[in-house]
A and B are shown apart, each in its own frame.
Chain A
Amino acid sequence: MNRHARRLALLIAPAAAVFCAFWLLPMVRIAVLGATGPRGLAAYSAIVTDRRYFDALVSTVALSVAVTVATVIVSGIAGLFLARNRFPGRGLLTAMLTLPLAFPGVVIGFMVIMLGGRQGLIGDLSQHLFGLRIVFAYSIGGLFAGYLYFSIPRVILTMIAAMEKLDPALEEAARSLGAGPWRVLRDVVIPALKPAIISSGAICFATSMGAFGTAFTLATRIDVLPLVIYTDFTYSANFAMAAALSIVLGVITWLVLGLARTLAGASAAAAG
């Protein structure tokens, strides 16, 4: 028994070492660093008490929630269509939809500027049509567009897969009982997709919370939390505050993911 336990410990040692070196130690270090700055432990509460940090937190969460909702709706509809219809070029279209997965945030920010920046396509078009140059790339609209752009590919494949697993007879049964299209969507399709919606929505939310490159490229008037951490760290050398903010960002995201997983787990079990 003892020998067995020792062998087990030996086998686990490499994984434990990696875990300590790359997860536990940096986490503890950052957590401690956050509490040992000029503000002390108050650095953690500054996120609520300090106007600038609190605003950044609120706008980050609001943006991430809005992006998640929009992404799920857009990908859900597109996924439904792609799962249900066979047409020439369907494979190519699916592949194209997932291409942005590989793009770093900088590239996406660049694309948003090309589209909605001062010299952007939409600006040119609106100038030509209405004599008014619409510029949205540097506002929350630009951030939203960019985040939506990189979120859709992450969600759409999950949606297609979940839709394809749905027995078409379920919808036919509901229709035979008198349910119209919206009723079928509400009573059959969405409940069946719920686990996929929750899990892919959670990934989408976490990615948006931590996204940096897009916001950095757009250099928006809105501060998102990752950007605040970056400026505190590099320009103000406010290491303690940057560390505390990092921990808070991580914990909030982690809590939301945990909640989503519990909900998804419960509904997945109910769906059997």
Chain B
Amino acid sequence: MPAPPGNSAVSIRLDGCGKTFADGTRALEPLTLDVRAGETIVFLGPSGCGKTTTLRLIAGLEAPDAGGHVWFGGEDVTALPIEKRNVGMVFQSYALFPNMSVAENIAYGLKVRRVATPMRAARVSEMLSLMHLNEFASRRIDQLSGGQRQRVALARALIVKPRVLLLDEPLTALDAKLRESLRIEIDRLLRELEITTVYVTHDQAEAMSLGDRIVVMERGRVAQIGTPQEIYYHPANRFVADFIGTMNRLHGTVRGGHLEVAGGRVPCDAPDGEAAELGFRPEDARVVEAEASGDLAGTVAAVFFLGDRTRVIVEGAADGLIVVESSGRRPFTKGDEVRIALRRETLLRLK
């Protein structure tokens, strides 16, 4: 285990933690996972994949099935309820206390801990400036925007110097622009505080930009654990490949070291006669003129101009549609005959 960073960051260890609910549904298959001190780990997956259950196990809001243990550093916290675990929690619904002002919300954790009033006031004003909330201190919660509310929620969770920060889809309720700016703010905060953070989201862009490591989950199981780069460039299976970014799929039979698909032949090193599937990312392919040499031939089915690039949907090259991106200013129209040039080293064998 690496030495813990400057502050009191603590590692988390889940040891065989499964969760079966009273009605018999298996929300989480037994999971063993180490989160390093100071690390930001993101649980990513569609709804019902078990990511929130995992967060709630770490928080102490749920108890793991018999045999499972949760460790904070060297301490077994499995039997501790959430109020004794010293964690900070941020919810999708903000969960701010409507009967308290902004400052009272932020101060709540210190009040529960019986921190003396002058000390409390000093810490609250510190948090208010950290989160750029100074002018809102005496506001009521219903007078704040969604972004401001979530900043208050972050301040309220952080003021108690929690051992672990737990964020449950904190940006999901915000609109796209706010989500982006608050994401940057959270990123800055997490780097600055070096606090061990568990972040749950279904948004892959959030996961990629915030996570030191990402745990992709599917139906109660871990599909892959890795850095954003590992997950994006080397997805462990089809589910991960599809869930993170866009993945084009070529399905066909191998003949003479090439995979034969509707639009042409693509190098594939598999035995003759085997049915195989290759995948590639839109940005790893180039659209070239029909006369030029390219791996796949097809027809433009749709064009989306995105400003900095153009997304071209090509049909006839494979069984399904192929998505490629063109960053040049060349215009495309529906029905254009095009060829797609692939980079061999970016082709992924999908299992």
Contact = CB atoms under 8 A, between A and B. Distances in A.
A178 B95 CA distance: 15
Contact of B113 (A174, A178, A188, A267): A178
A172 B113 contact: no
B59 A176 contact: yes
A178 B112 contact: yes
By DSSP majority rule, is chain B's interface helix, strand, loop, or mixed? mixed
B88 A167 contact: no
B89 A178 contact: no
By DSSP majority rule, is chain A's interface helix, strand, loop, or mixed? helix
B91 A172 contact: yes
A252 to B, nearest CB: 30
B98 interface: yes
Contacts of B88: 176
A164 interface: no
Interface size class of B (residues with CB under 8 A): 20 to 34
Contacts of A180: 83
A186 to B, nearest CB: 11
A187 B87 contact: no
Nearest to B81: A175
A167 B141 contact: no
A258 interface: no
Nearest to B143: A272
Contacts of A177: 83, 108-109, 112, 156-157, 160
Given A172-B95, A176-B88, A188-B97, A272 B112 contact: no
B93 A270 contact: no
B97 A179 contact: no
Interface residues of A, number: 22
A237 to B, nearest CB: 54
A187 B97 contact: yes
Nearest to A171: B95
B193 interface: no
Interface string A169-196: 1101111111110010001100110100
Contact of A179 (B92, B96, B112, B141): B112
A173 B89 contact: yes
B145 interface: no
B25 interface: no
A176 B164 CA distance: 11
Nearest to A167: B93
A271 interface: yes
Contacts of B99: 191-192, 194, 267, 270-271
Nearest to B83: A175
Contact of B93 (A169, A179, A191, A267): A169
Nearest to B23: A86
Contacts of A170: 95, 97
Contact of A173 (B81, B91, B113): B91
Interface string A230-272: 0000000000000000000000000000000000000100111
11 contacts: A170-B95, A172-B89, A172-B95, A173-B97, A177-B160, A178-B84, A178-B112, A178-B113, A179-B108, A187-B108, A192-B98
